[in-house]
Amino acid sequence: MPPVRNGTIYYVKQPTDKIIPGETVKYVEEEIDLDNVPLNGGILLKIVAVSSDPYMRYRMREPESSLAAFCPPLQLNKPVDNFGVATVIRSEDPDFKPGDFLDGFFNFQEYSLWPPPPDQKHFLRYIQKIDRPASIPASAYTGTLGLAGKTAYVGFDTFAKEKCKQSKTLFVSGAAGPLGTFVCEYAKICNPNIKVIGSAGSPEKIKILKEIGVDVAINYKEEDIEKVLKEHGPIDIYWDNVAGPTLDAALVNMSSQGLIIACGAISAANSNGQGSTVKHFEEIFERSLVIHGFTVGTGPSAAALPKFYEAVTPLVLQGKITNREHRFSLKEAGAALASVHHGTNIGKAVIVISNDV
Amino acid sequence: MPPVRNGTIYYVKQPTDKIIPGETVKYVEEEIDLDNVPLNGGILLKIVAVSSDPYMRYRMREPESSLAAFCPPLQLNKPVDNFGVATVIRSEDPDFKPGDFLDGFFNFQEYSLWPPPPDQKHFLRYIQKIDRPASIPASAYTGTLGLAGKTAYVGFDTFAKEKCKQSKTLFVSGAAGPLGTFVCEYAKICNPNIKVIGSAGSPEKIKILKEIGVDVAINYKEEDIEKVLKEHGPIDIYWDNVAGPTLDAALVNMSSQGLIIACGAISAANSNGQGSTVKHFEEIFERSLVIHGFTVGTGPSAAALPKFYEAVTPLVLQGKITNREHRFSLKEAGAALASVHHGTNIGKAVIVISNDV
């Protein structure tokens, strides 16, 4: 077979504010000889789909930013990499054979060698074989069964599950995204009587919240969150994906001894290290709150990770944890990366590179 | 005996910013007939000393402020009340006899009836008999052995003690106050090898930090806290008494999976509910931090309270937990209340009403 096209997304310019498709990242067409490219004991992958996650913006900050410990920066003029799924085309590694379906950390690219070439310093070197039930789409492994789902599951299981059983109210911000819907649905599984309050930023997203059984859906662009929370609170558990003004509204409506899961700060992600301003920090001691910040796989939440597929795959098959996707092509990767910061994606933003699975 | 003077401090005007002695509170001379005032089954107390604590400013906010749950407001044109110590003069209560030394929640007043008259809604109705060793001054029971010491002890014991044993660095802000020096000294008792970094706002306070064995003493008015913390960090445990910019400096210097004890937000106390602005909240999830906010006696820390005197009295007698006082007279109560917000007190701000113990 002659060489084939190998489309690749490169990181070419650090954004000063928002990600700009075509300027921040660029689509480049290269070629690859699938039959003859040397594997050097590794494997050749066909990338099926890669994920657009909010945290990717942090990887576009100044490399010397204090964030270094959280996630290493993307390298300029190298392929963008993130969590995704792939199938094995050729293998010299006895652990993998053609046709294997893998979860891993991959380039935004049609075909990739594994391990990656020495000039590509991947953030994570991670691949894992997945036994995918035929009724679950491959792309779901970038969201509901990928980083978003894993983050929701390990965070909730580790920090919130026990308290959820005795709680009356849960508030989730960024509730219509793949992580948010997971938390809302999983909380109802843990405690069917809990009142779930969710916030999101468009009528389409409010519709999603109602579909998944959220009791109080707040469009934060049209309603006064603090007022709605006051009406339906106090809040026993707040799952925070956004920080900023929504967090302030939650802080003044928390129950005494309430719990906050600090899972993200989308309001700060685009600030190049300037952070997210929170005014009511003093409520934390005044209300005797506990806050657990975490990133998936760090600290105590890491212990829940090995149970993820076994626990969550049946819930997805039973329709108790639902999956929705906003699909982008590889050429649209820049738009996919930007969408999760503009809130324009409805469902998991996923870059589907191949439908051939 | 003829009636005697009964000096009393009244709360007369809500401050808009700082407490103004003579305007916010006022000294009034009344009279009391110690021999004949009816006790109605209660007791007559001679108040020995009352405490000036930073949280008192919260009690001077708008009554409808969200803070109601934390501490009820002072009542206008009623006596100021707070933790203090007293002796029993007369008693119709079989549990108390003349000469008993009591810890409790008392008026800023020379003589008081207990329980308080029906028109005085005390925040707390609390008295407890104390077996005071002769070498410990009565006034110490308003600070090192009072609210400040109890707060430090129960918070540290409940949330920080175990982690302290495995930690390399502790940072304490507001470190030269009675709560701060307690935390610094108690941490060294729990782990003699821990590096204690303390911040305070004057050369006199830096001198106190050096006296009590703080390893790195930062004058935040003269030094760049963030830079000093970077040099001596990362910080495993941060005991936060101040919030605001000092908290921001700590957040960007925390260890992964570090612990923050949110014990106070003096930077917010004078803002009439406008709160303390924190910029780097996103570090909480990025660094997988845990924050425990608490007020003494609320939540899990309440369990440590009954052990307080038994655990801490020997440490005070042995000189391992030290006590320093900045004494004010009853007439100077306004200045005492203001001092803890201006940082002008050196040691525990205590209003000594009677030296006759």
Is A69's CB within 8 Å of B286's CB? yes
Percentage of chain B exceeding pLDDT 70: 95
Q: How many domains does chain B have?
A: 2
Q: Does B174 reside within a domain?
A: yes
End-to-end CA distance of chain A: 20
pLDDT, tens only, B45-83: 999 999 999 889 888 987 766 554 567 889 999 999 999
Q: What span, in angstroms and rounded, lies between the C-alpha atoms of A128 and A146?
A: 12
Is the pLDDT at B88 greater than 60? The verdict is yes
Structural domain containing residue A67: 4-143+324-352
Nearest to B25 by CA among B71, B72, B73, B80: B80
pLDDT at residue A296, rounded to an integer: 87
Residues A230 and A154 in one domain: yes
Chain B nearest-CA distance from A256, in A, is 8
pLDDT, tens only, A225-245: 999 999 999 999 999 999 989
pLDDT at residue A190, rounded to an integer: 97
Residues A77 and A219 in one domain: no
> Which residue type sits at B133?
P
- Owner of token pair 């910013």: B17
ipTM of the complex model: 0.88
Lowest mean pLDDT among A15-19, A47-51, B166-170, B253-257: A15-19
Residues A30 and A96 in one domain: yes
8-state DSSP, A306: G
Q: Are strands A4-11 and A78-79 parallel, antiparallel or unpaired?
A: antiparallel
pLDDT at residue B221, rounded to an integer: 94
Closest residue of A to B66, CA-based? A252
pLDDT at residue A275, rounded to an integer: 59
Looking at chain B, the number of H-run helices and the number of E-run strands are 10, 16
Residue B96: partners with Cβ closer than 8 Å, 6 or more residues away: B43, B88, B102, B129
Is the pLDDT at B247 greater than 80? The verdict is yes
Q: What span, in angstroms and rounded, lies between the C-alpha atoms of A329 and A108?
A: 11
SS3 (DSSP) at A252: coil
Residue A128: partners with Cβ closer than 8 Å, 6 or more residues away: A102, A103, A104
Q: Provide the token pair at B227.
A: 């830079």
Residues B324-327: contacts with CB within 8 Å, 24+ apart? B324/B178, B324/B181, B324/B208, B324/B348, B325/B137, B325/B139, B325/B140, B325/B143, B325/B350, B326/B350, B327/B139, B327/B351, B327/B352
Residues B251 and B342 in one domain: no
Region B113-141 average pLDDT: 89
The full DSSP string for B278-346 is: BSBTTHHHHTT-EEEE--TTSGGGGGGGGGHHHHHHHHHHTTSS---EEEE-GGGHHHHHHHHHHT--S
B332: left (phi over 0), alpha (psi -120 to 50) or beta: alpha
Is the pLDDT at A140 greater than 90? The verdict is yes
Residues A157 and A46 in one domain: no
Q: What span, in angstroms and rounded, lies between the C-alpha atoms of A81 and A337?
A: 12
Of A180 and A296, which is predicted with more confidence?
A180
| Domain of residue A278, CATH code | 3.40.50.720
Nearest to A252 by CA among A229, A220, A277: A229
Residues B297 and B332 in one domain: no
Q: Provide the token pair at A279.
A: 């005014």
Nearest to A338 by CA among A65, A23, A93: A23
pLDDT at residue B17, rounded to an integer: 86
pLDDT at residue B65, rounded to an integer: 62
Is B275's CB within 8 Å of A279's CB? yes
Give the pLDDT band of residue A125 (cuts 50, 70, 90): confident
Is B287's CB within 8 Å of A293's CB? yes
Q: Are A199 and A177 in contact (CB under 8 A)?
A: no
Is the pLDDT at B140 greater than 90? The verdict is yes
Q: Provide the token pair at B204.
A: 């006199």
Residues B113 and B220 in one domain: no
Q: What span, in angstroms and rounded, lies between the C-alpha atoms of A56 and A337?
A: 8
Is the preceding peptide bond at B234 cis, omega within 30 degrees of 0? yes
Count Cβ neighbours within 10 Å for each residue of A159-182 and write b for 16 or more, e otherwise. Answer: bbbebbeebebbbbbbbbbbbbbb
pLDDT at residue A342, rounded to an integer: 87
Interface mutation vs chain A, best among B151, B163, B284, most A CBs within 10 Å:
B284
Q: What span, in angstroms and rounded, lies between the C-alpha atoms of B282 and B286?
A: 6
Per CB-CB distance under 8 Å, the chain A contacts of B293 are 283-291
| Domain of residue B93, CATH code | 3.90.180.10
| B263 inside 8 A of chain A by CB | yes
Is B291's CB within 8 Å of A284's CB? yes
Residues B49 and B151 in one domain: no
Residues B128 and B196 in one domain: no
pLDDT, tens only, A27-56: 999 999 999 999 999 999 999 999 999 889
Residues A170 and A33 in one domain: no
Q: What span, in angstroms and rounded, lies between the C-alpha atoms of A310 and B205?
A: 57
How many residues does this entry show for chain A?
Answer: 357
A 10 A CB-CB count for A283 gives 28
Per CB-CB distance under 8 Å, the chain A contacts of B299 are 256-257, 288
Residues A121 and A196 in one domain: no
pLDDT at residue B266, rounded to an integer: 76
pLDDT, tens only, B152-206: 999 999 999 999 999 999 999 999 999 999 999 999 999 999 999 999 999 999 9
Q: What span, in angstroms and rounded, lies between the C-alpha atoms of A59 and A62?
A: 8
Residues A293 and A154 in one domain: yes
What angle, 0 to 180 degrees and rounded to 10, lies between the N-to-C axes of helices B178-190 and B147-155? 40
